[in-house]
């Protein structure tokens, strides 16, 4: 029998949890040995295949997300190799792990540590940031899509919006992590510009092409906290989804739990200290006309932890969010006809947000011949 004979009961319990304003961390603090039923995922969304499964009888090594060493990207011969590796990675995996990316490990560790400190400080300090008001630049909440997906997930998030990273008002961020967020963003800006060039080159476009589209801005940082979970088989840290944006740069600690759907198998992303993960979002798949893939991923809940991660999203800034974006003309040919119609960032995100993370991709809705209408 369903855990919820009445949907109204479920919405009421989701609301009760939301109104505590202390997140999953608050539940864990109160010593719960069982997870409340609002966190129980439908069986099809549970991480039953927790590890990568080998084909029976196969000794082939487990597939691993590609790691790309960015050292020497200013030397033309090395740069050509890096660009090739990025092209392959984004065509097949939609993801790659970067090492020697230029951001000191200390800056990364400080962001992870201060994120943990934010989520573990006395509840009164975090409650003042708890909100779902989308007009607020700084928000703390548990399960971003709580009322769309109607299943609570085992994570809490501090979300910071920037618009113009050269004019960040650090004072508006929680005191406990504002310096660390500022330091990280300062460093990330240079790396983001390098990635815009390398990805343009990987598409065979001029180096400044993606930057010139005005879609490659650092806009949002989600500082996630996945508390240790007493019943990890029944719930999920973040449900299967693809990121709706242009690009995501993800920092994760050494706990593990992130999985990528690769060739129909869930593949664990092994944490590598000091590395950063990059993945293509739906809008990058749209403007590259499927050259680069926005791949689904999820985070399983674990008894270990807490697990900390910080996802930085790149997409057009406010003044460009109503502008239409479509497949880049230079990438289209008789062999590669246009797949998607033009859409603005706001229209895309509105459609994506109305669905919640329900396992159904948003992108096909934007095909010229819509696949799911």
Closest C-alpha to 219, from 116, 349, 365, 363: 349
Q: How far apart are CA 312 and CA 247, in angstroms?
A: 8
Q: Which of 299, 339, 362, 363 binds ligand OGA (CB under 6 A)?
A: 299
Please enumerate in sequence order all residues whose Cβ is within 8 A of that of 141, keeping only pairs 6 or more positions apart, or say none. Answer: 18, 23, 130, 131, 132, 156, 157, 159
Q: Which of 101, 297, 361, 365 binds ligand OGA (CB under 6 A)?
A: 297
Structure tokens at 72: 């020497």
Min CB(123)–Ni ion separation in Å? 27
Based on the shown chain and the rule CB under 6 A, indicate whether residue 119 belongs to the binding site for ligand OGA: no
Min CB(313)–ligand OGA separation in Å? 8
Closest C-alpha to 123, from 259, 222, 26: 26
Min CB(141)–ligand OGA separation in Å? 13
Contact 229, 302 (CB under 8 A): yes
Contact 298, 237 (CB under 8 A): yes
Nearer to Ni ion, 114 or 259 (CB): 259
Based on the shown chain and the rule CB under 6 A, indicate whether residue 247 belongs to the binding site for ligand OGA: no
Based on the shown chain and the rule CB under 6 A, indicate whether residue 223 belongs to the binding site for ligand OGA: no
Q: Which of 236, 238, 300, 314 binds ligand OGA (CB under 6 A)?
A: 238
Structure tokens at 247: 């690009």
Burial of 344 (0-12, 13-18, 19+ CB in 10 A): middle
Work out what residue 321 binds among Ni ion, ligand OGA, none; the CB cut-off runs from 5 to 8 Å by kind.
none
223 forms bridges with which residues in the sheet?
158, 310
Nearer to ligand OGA, 108 or 222 (CB): 222
Work out what residue 10 binds among ligand OGA, Ni ion, none; the CB cut-off runs from 5 to 8 Å by kind.
none
The site for ligand OGA, by CB under 6 A, has a size of: 11
Q: Which of 18, 217, 243, 296 binds Ni ion (CB under 5 A)?
A: 243
| Dihedral-angle region of residue 204 (phi above 0 means left; psi in -120 to 50 means alpha; beta otherwise) | left
Burial pattern 325-336, b for ≥16 Cβ within 10 A else e, equals bbbbeebeeeee
Min CB(348)–Ni ion separation in Å? 15
Nearer to ligand OGA, 103 or 203 (CB): 103
Q: How far apart are CA 270 and CA 9, in angstroms?
A: 39
Based on the shown chain and the rule CB under 6 A, indicate whether residue 339 belongs to the binding site for ligand OGA: no
Q: How far apart are CA 262 and CA 95, in angstroms?
A: 10
Min CB(292)–ligand OGA separation in Å? 17
Q: How many CA atoms lie within 13 A of 365 on its CB side?
A: 16
Q: Which of 86, 98, 112, 250 binds ligand OGA (CB under 6 A)?
A: 250
Residue 156 dihedral angles phi and psi, to the nearest 5°: -120, 155
Segment interacting with ligand OGA (CB under 6 A) among 62-70, 100-108, 194-202, 250-258: 250-258
Based on the shown chain and the rule CB under 6 A, indicate whether residue 243 belongs to the binding site for ligand OGA: yes
Min CB(41)–ligand OGA separation in Å? 16
Nearer to ligand OGA, 139 or 224 (CB): 224
Based on the shown chain and the rule CB under 5 A, indicate whether residue 183 belongs to the binding site for Ni ion: no
| Interacting residues toward Ni ion by CB under 5 A | 243
| Interacting residues toward ligand OGA by CB under 6 A | 222, 224, 238, 243, 250, 252, 258, 297, 299, 309, 311
């Amino acid at each position: 029998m369903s855990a919820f004979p009445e949907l109204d009961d479920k919405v009421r319990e989701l609301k009760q949890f939301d109104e505590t304003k202390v997140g999953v961390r608050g539940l864990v603090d109160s010593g719960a040995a069982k997870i409340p039923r609002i966190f129980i995922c439908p069986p099809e969304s549970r991480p039953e295949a927790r590890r990568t499964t080998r084909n029976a009888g196969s000794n082939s090594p487990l597939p691993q997300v590609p790691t790309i060493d960015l050292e020497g990207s200013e030397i033309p011969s090395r740069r050509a190799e890096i660009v090739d590796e990025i092209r392959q990675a984004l065509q097949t995996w939609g993801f790659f792990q970067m090492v020697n990316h230029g951001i000191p490990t200390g800056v990364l560790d400080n962001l992870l540590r201060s994120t943990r400190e934010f989520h573990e400080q006395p509840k009164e300090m975090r409650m003042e940031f708890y909100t779902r008001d989308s007009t607020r630049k700084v928000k703390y909440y548990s399960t971003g899509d709580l009322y769309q997906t109607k299943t609570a997930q085992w994570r809490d998030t501090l979300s910071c919006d920037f618009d113009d990273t050269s004019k960040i008002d650090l004072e508006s961020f929680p005191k406990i992590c504002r310096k660390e967020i500022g330091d990280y963003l300062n460093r990330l800006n240079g790396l983001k510009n390098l990635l815009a060039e390398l990805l343009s080159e990987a598409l065979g476009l001029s180096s400044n092409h993606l930057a010139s589209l005005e879609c490659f801005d650092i806009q949002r940082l989600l500082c996630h906290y996945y508390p240790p979970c007493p019943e990890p088989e029944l719930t999920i840290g973040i449900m299967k989804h693809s990121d709706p944006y242009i690009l995501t740069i993800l920092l994760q600690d050494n706990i593990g739990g992130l999985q990528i759907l690769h060739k129909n198998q869930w593949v664990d992303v092994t944490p590598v200290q000091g590395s950063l993960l990059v993945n293509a979002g739906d809008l990058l798949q749209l403007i590259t006309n499927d050259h680069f893939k926005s791949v689904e991923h999820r985070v399983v809940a674990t008894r270990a932890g807490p697990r900390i991660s910080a996802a930085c999203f790149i997409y057009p800034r406010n003044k460009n969010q109503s502008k239409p974006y479509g497949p880049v003309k230079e990438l289209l040919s008789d062999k590669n006809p246009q797949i998607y119609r033009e859409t603005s960032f706001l229209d895309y995100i509105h459609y994506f947000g109305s669905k919640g993370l329900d396992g159904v991709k948003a992108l096909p809705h934007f095909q010229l011949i819509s696949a799911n209408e």
